[in-house]
Structure 1
């Protein structure tokens, strides 16, 4: 399994802003993903759970509220799932996920 984020870093103004990133599933298996942030007070993520089709891209929207500049991160966990899976949160209850980290910088 392999997952990547494009762009690989999220830079937003400290005064607030939004960015869209693509999660790229370069594997031949469907994956479920879960997005966590180190700062739930300033960041909003949509969707928190989702699916990545084999060889496909899934957009995630990152919104930063106004606040003091600092560096945070997104941790994107992912697991292989059945091709007909409907609930993206279910695999995380029984599987140990792999993960990637997306640095977030407020300027």
Structure 2
């Protein structure tokens, strides 16, 4: 079971920048996902939680705020969920995470 993120890394401007990535479900299962950042003061993600059906692609928007140049990461955790699940937070509250994908992000001047 796996998700992919395209592009597989992000380079942002230290003055702040918004970029769009694609989350791709390469499995045959419906997955819930949760997006976490290594620096919540510098990075915002939208959506934070969601579902992605088999072979579907969805947009992930990452906003970097103004701040110092440094390496960080965006972590997309995922868990297999049944069709009847309507709350994307539920598997993570139940600690049912089954994997994660790490998106390295870097800020440069």
| Alignment TM class, shorter chain as reference | over 0.9
Unaligned stretches of 5+ residues in structure 2: none
Structure 1's unaligned 5+ residue stretches are: none
2:81 match = 81
Report the counterpart of residue 42 of structure 1 in structure 2. Answer: 42
- RMSD over aligned CA atoms reads 0.8
Q: Secondary structure at the match of 1:41?
A: coil
Displacement of 1:2: 1.4
Secondary structure, counterpart of 2:85 in structure 1 = coil
Please name the residue that 1:58 is paired with.
Answer: 58
What secondary structure sits across from 2:103 in the alignment?
A: strand
CA distance in 2, matches of 1:73, 1:2: 18
CA distance in 1, matches of 2:84, 2:22: 22
Please name the residue that 1:16 is paired with.
16
4+ runs deviating over 3 angstroms: none
Query: Do the aligned partners of 2:77 and 2:97 also contact (CA within 8 Å) in 1?
Result: no
SS where residue 58 of structure 1 aligns? Answer: strand
**Distance in 1 (alpha carbons) for counterparts of 2:69 and 2:2:** 31
CA distance in 1: counterparts of 2:100 and 2:42, whole angstroms: 22
TM-score (norm 1): 0.96
* TM-score of the superposed pair, with normalisation by structure 2: 0.94
| Residues 23-43 of structure 1 deviation map (CA, whole Å, 9 limit, x = unaligned) | 000111100000000000011
Is the Cα–Cα contact under 8 Å of residues 31 and 81 in structure 2 kept in the other structure? yes
Q: Are residues 1:68 and 2:82 paired?
A: no
